[in-house]
Amino acid sequence: MNEPTNYTFKKIASIEFGFFSPKLIQEVSVAKVVTPELYDKESYPVDGGLMDVRLGVIDPGLTCRTCGNKFKECPGHFGHIELARPVLHIEGIALIFSLLKTTCHNCGRVLVSDEKLNLIKDKLKEVESLRGYENKLKEIRKLLIKLKTIIKCPHCSAKQKPLKLEKPYTFYEDEQKLSPIQIRARLERIPDKDIELYGINPEATRPEWLVLTRMLIPPVTMRTSLTLESGERAEDDLTHKLADIVKINQRLFENINAGAPEIIIDEFWELLQYHVTTFFKNSVTQIPPARHRTGQPLRTIYERINSKEGRIRNNLAGKRTNFCARSVISPDPMIEIDEVGIPELVAKKLTIPEKVTKYNEKFLKSLVEKGKKSYPGANFVIRPDGLKKTITDETKEQILEEIQPGYVVQRHLQNGDVCIFNRQPSLHKMSILCHKIKVIPGKTFRINPAVCFPYNADFDGDEMNLHIPQTEESRAEAELLMSVKNVLVSPCNGLTIVGCVQDAISGNYLLTKKENFTKKEAIELLYSVDHKDFTKLPKGDEVDGKDIISALLPKGFTFYGKSRSGDVIIENGYLKEGVLDSSSLGNGAGLLLRSMLQKYGEDLVSDFIGKMFKLGLKMLLQSGLTTSVSDIDTDSKFQNKIAKYFIDADSEILKISDKLYKKDFHPTKDQMIEAETEIMKILGNAQNEAMKCVSDYFNEETGTTIMINSGARGSKTNLTALAGFVGQQNSRGGRIKVGYRKRTLSCFKKYDIGSEQGGFIKSTYKKGLKPHEFFFRAITSRDAYMDIALRTPKSGYLYRRLANALQDVRVEADSTVRDIDSKIIQFKYGEDGIDVSKSEKGSIDIKKIIREVAGN
């Protein structure tokens, strides 16, 4: 293979910040802009105009006169304008103000005597070296406040005049306006040794540079123009603004040369200042923003950089990518948990570059022969010299002949290729995982429902993104670090995050409970989930559900745990006792899965989860599970029993009410609160007892109770709300507040503090709510929705801040935790260096080890 050997690797080591001095502007500038015109009659850029070809080219066909490159190759070059009169830089106003205010107008020295100056400088240096630049700025700010009150210059004893800044950019001294020329002259006088006091580095910036005499013109390439359909050109906002500046500047020159009266010159000067200011920042509070003819404000430099849509957060910190796809997701329990089903349409569009070697030459050639349109084929071929060729019917034959080791074929995606799958919002690292591709018919992405939880996805129309890593390194990294198998346990709390959900749980629950299978049935069931090892099944013809599950468990696996209803005992790879429900198999729990993971590794566990999932579904297919309204039917005896709890509670409340509203007794606020807590307690007790009564009543195994008991879906509260009573509606930490005069709704009597008017719903969802109960339910529902709507942005901002603060914190090789400045944050991660996802919730289970060794 003949690889090009003359690679040059460049790495940016550092970025320096500084200010452009007039001299530097002159040096970097390739053209002086003198005319506001952009194009001539032939729509060729005017020489000395803002679109001058020396500043770079944006039209195909033109060549840059500076570097000789064509469109898209020329990086663009800076030009400059000579301003007729100097103007102030808007970002520097605050600094100019404090500079003027704290230096002598007579001698230009800072208002501190020389000895003191050295002391302060030493102190600042110390602060900077110890506590950083920002703390130095804080010190400086404190210092400057003190200096502002000094009246007499300690160097030349001149009396200081009061200085005023009229925002945004006009300075007055003794009620007299200071022109930028005067300001510049003053700033020039401040010696280098003094400006260090303001945090200015004299090597980087001289204060007088903040008053612009010469302005840098950004290259054409950063303000490209659009050609509209009508053939008209729409210029960039920056070009518009620059044109304004050049225009006014030109007129100011003419007026000065013509000896126009001072007032007119001042007016133009002011206008120039306005245009230069809005060129830098178009959202200065005190001046009206410059607008398009349509009235929408121009987006100038500040707006381009700032905010979420600005350059930094939108283009630099976040990037767009090729080789990606997005589609609706739908469930497919029959594919493995680390697979993703993609439609052929996507597989044909996305490609993987594969280098031709003598081992795969035949294979790749066969793909090339298939071409672009039929699957599996290939789309492009890249020659070793970098030329990319599209495979079409015409070029196919020639390419086939040409292909030899060293070529790269961009082939279609095939089963088993690595991809990265993502769902927004990507709140944790499990939101971006690596899957293996499986090409299947249809138009959606298919995932195993078991991986819904890490993505927080459901199938009500969610869309997800798919990325194809293009290099060997990235593929290896994705596969080894971010595959679904690697994140079975969450680093947040050490709980499993991939596990059975919904039907799979209730199915397995039923399976562990069911006893009479024939061996034939058992083998059929196991074979349907792709399990072919039947040696663990018992010898006779009678098999029970536990045996079937035992067949999936690894040999020698011992586990003692708890299910929702009792103990789970697994000894030597056999499920001896207990049922498997959501606390063993589900996500957000799963001690079972975790101890299996520790002993046998992620491959076995992910395989186990996949098989258990399918087994549950197959089991349900056989036995069936229906939830029906008759599941929640109740008899009148039960209804009376429930009602009696509430009648008792009501009579107790009545006692309190009687005490409170005795004749001639006016309850104080404290007494009211006390009564309210008392009532809440009574109702809470009644509610709890009634709830117990409900769960006692529904002790039969129906579809509904199976789902609840196995933890697949629904809860006792849900069942109670359907069959027993809905219960107390709470809003803002109490019962429903009084909204009318002395009552919560107009249908109640005044001074009623009973359960009904306080938002206690005695009806059930099955029977239906009474009107007032419906109102109360609506209150709490609305409250809950508001809560979500308000919470999301708040927690999002908290997350952004946390991530920004901690993004550089990492574990070093010496097991200390440090940030980028190598400041030690922790000597050992979490004080003992244990990774949460590799241990039992961040600690090590010694008892288990002792049990294993000592044997009891």
Partner 1 sequence: MEDLIKKYEKKLSGKIISDIKLNVPKNIDKKKLEEIFKRAVTVFENAQIDTSEACGLIASSSFGEQSTQMTLNEKHGGGTSTIQLSSGLPRIIEIFDGRKELSTPMMEIFFKKKKLSENEVKNYAMHIKETKLIEFIEEFQLDFINQVVKCYLNKDKLKKEKYSQEAIAKALQKNMKGIIVEEEEEYISVKKKIKDEKIMDLYKLKDKLKNVFVSGIKNISQVVIVQEDDGSYKILTRGSSLKHVLELDFIDPYKTTTNDIWQICNHLGIEAARAAIIKETDKVLEVQGLNINIRHSMLIADTMSLSGIIKGITRFGILLDKDSVISKASFETPMKHIFNAAISGQKDKLKSVMENVMVNQPIPIGTGMGRLLAKEDS
x-or-dash string of contact with partner 1, 274-303, rule CB under 8 A:
-------x--------------------x-
Q: Which stretch binds partner 1 (CB under 8 A): 359-367, 401-409, 554-562, 818-826?
A: 818-826
What would the two tokens of residue 847 be? 């008892």
Query: 698 to 737, contacts with partner 1 by CB under 8 A?
Result: 732-733
Query: 194 to 253, contacts with partner 1 by CB under 8 A?
Result: 199-201, 203-205
CB-nearer residue toward partner 1: 40 or 808? 808
x-or-dash string of contact with partner 1, 375-414, rule CB under 8 A:
----------------------------------------
CB-nearer residue toward partner 1: 19 or 172? 19
- Is there binding between residue 491 and partner 1 (CB under 8 A)? yes
List the one residue from 3, 4, 6, 11 that touches partner 1 (CB under 8 A).
Answer: 11
- Is there binding between residue 740 and partner 1 (CB under 8 A)? no
Helix axes 237-257, 262-280, angle to 10 degrees: 160
What would the two tokens of residue 421 be? 């799958």
Q: Which residue's structure tokens are 């020489």?
A: 47
Shortest distance, position 67 Cβ to partner 1, whole Å = 22
Query: 781 to 810, contacts with partner 1 by CB under 8 A?
Result: 787, 790-792, 794-796, 798-799, 801-810
- Is there binding between residue 17 and partner 1 (CB under 8 A)? yes
Q: In degrees rounded to 5, what are phi and psi of residue 567?
A: -85, 155
CB-nearer residue toward partner 1: 92 or 727? 92
Shortest distance, position 137 Cβ to partner 1, whole Å = 7
CB-nearer residue toward partner 1: 17 or 665? 17
- Is there binding between residue 28 and partner 1 (CB under 8 A)? no
Contact 705, 631 (CB under 8 A): yes
CB-nearer residue toward partner 1: 119 or 798? 798
List the one residue from 116, 167, 313, 659 that touches partner 1 (CB under 8 A).
Answer: 313
- Is there binding between residue 515 and partner 1 (CB under 8 A)? no
What is the phi-psi region of residue 455: left when phi exceeds 0, alpha when psi lies from -120 to 50, beta otherwise? alpha
Q: In degrees rounded to 5, what are phi and psi of residue 5?
A: -95, -10
CB-nearer residue toward partner 1: 497 or 570? 497
Task: List Cα–Cα distances, 289 to 211, 373, 459, in angstroms.
Answer: 21, 54, 47
Q: How big is the site for partner 1, counted in residues (CB under 8 A)?
A: 100
- Is there binding between residue 673 and partner 1 (CB under 8 A)? yes
- Is there binding between residue 672 and partner 1 (CB under 8 A)? no
x-or-dash string of contact with partner 1, 70-99, rule CB under 8 A:
---------------------xx--x----
Q: How far apart are CA 507 and CA 623, in angstroms?
A: 9
Q: Which stretch binds partner 1 (CB under 8 A): 172-180, 229-237, 309-317, 737-745?
A: 309-317
What would the two tokens of residue 356 be? 């031709």
CB-nearer residue toward partner 1: 662 or 847? 847
Shortest distance, position 759 Cβ to partner 1, whole Å = 16
- Is there binding between residue 854 and partner 1 (CB under 8 A)? yes
Contact 44, 61 (CB under 8 A): no
Greatest alpha-carbon span in the chain = 116
Shortest distance, position 733 Cβ to partner 1, whole Å = 5
3-state secondary structure 76-92: CCCEEEEEEEEEECHHH
- Is there binding between residue 813 and partner 1 (CB under 8 A)? yes
Alpha carbon dihedral 439, 441, 443, 444, in 10-degree steps, equals -60
List the one residue from 1, 13, 258, 629 that touches partner 1 (CB under 8 A).
Answer: 13
- Is there binding between residue 258 and partner 1 (CB under 8 A)? no
Exposed e or buried b per residue across 512-550, where buried means at least 16 C-beta atoms within 10 angstroms of its C-beta: bbeeebebeebbebbeebebeeeebbeeeeebbbbbbbb
Q: Which stretch binds partner 1 (CB under 8 A): 334-342, 377-385, 639-647, 825-833?
A: 825-833
Q: How many residues does the chain have?
A: 856
Q: How far apart are CA 77 and CA 55, in angstroms?
A: 5
Q: Provide the β-strand partners of residue 810.
A: 818
Q: How far apart are CA 335 and CA 338, in angstroms?
A: 8
Q: How far apart are CA 82 and CA 25, in angstroms?
A: 10
- Is there binding between residue 306 and partner 1 (CB under 8 A)? yes
Nearest to 499 by CA among 381, 371, 395, 589: 589
Shortest distance, position 519 Cβ to partner 1, whole Å = 39
CB-nearer residue toward partner 1: 539 or 732? 732
- Is there binding between residue 316 and partner 1 (CB under 8 A)? yes
Cis bond leading into 353, ω under 30°? no
Alpha carbon dihedral 271, 276, 278, 284, in 10-degree steps, equals -90
List the one residue from 284, 495, 504, 694 that touches partner 1 (CB under 8 A).
Answer: 495
Q: Which residue's structure tokens are 């004749």?
A: 663
CB-nearer residue toward partner 1: 164 or 810? 810
CB-nearer residue toward partner 1: 152 or 681? 681
List the one residue from 15, 226, 228, 263 that touches partner 1 (CB under 8 A).
Answer: 15
- Is there binding between residue 498 and partner 1 (CB under 8 A)? no
Shortest distance, position 88 Cβ to partner 1, whole Å = 14
Burial category of 50 from C-beta neighbours within 10 Å (exposed 0-12, middle 13-18, buried 19 and up): buried
Q: How many CB atoms lie within 10 A of CB 584?
A: 29
Determine the 3-state secondary structure of 506 from DSSP.
Answer: helix
List the one residue from 3, 16, 229, 700 that touches partner 1 (CB under 8 A).
Answer: 16
Sheet strand arrangement including 574-577: 559-562, 567-571, 574-577
Query: 826 to 845, contacts with partner 1 by CB under 8 A?
Result: 826, 829-836, 838-839, 841-844
- Is there binding between residue 7 and partner 1 (CB under 8 A)? no
Q: Which stretch binds partner 1 (CB under 8 A): 111-119, 133-141, 236-244, 620-628?
A: 133-141
- Is there binding between residue 8 and partner 1 (CB under 8 A)? no
Contact 89, 210 (CB under 8 A): yes
x-or-dash string of contact with partner 1, 468-487, rule CB under 8 A:
---------x---x------
Q: How many CB atoms lie within 10 A of CB 696?
A: 10
Q: How many CB atoms lie within 10 A of CB 156?
A: 11
Concatenating the DSSP letter of every residue in 428-464 gives SGGGEEEEEEEE-SSSSEEE-GGGHHHHT--SSS-EE
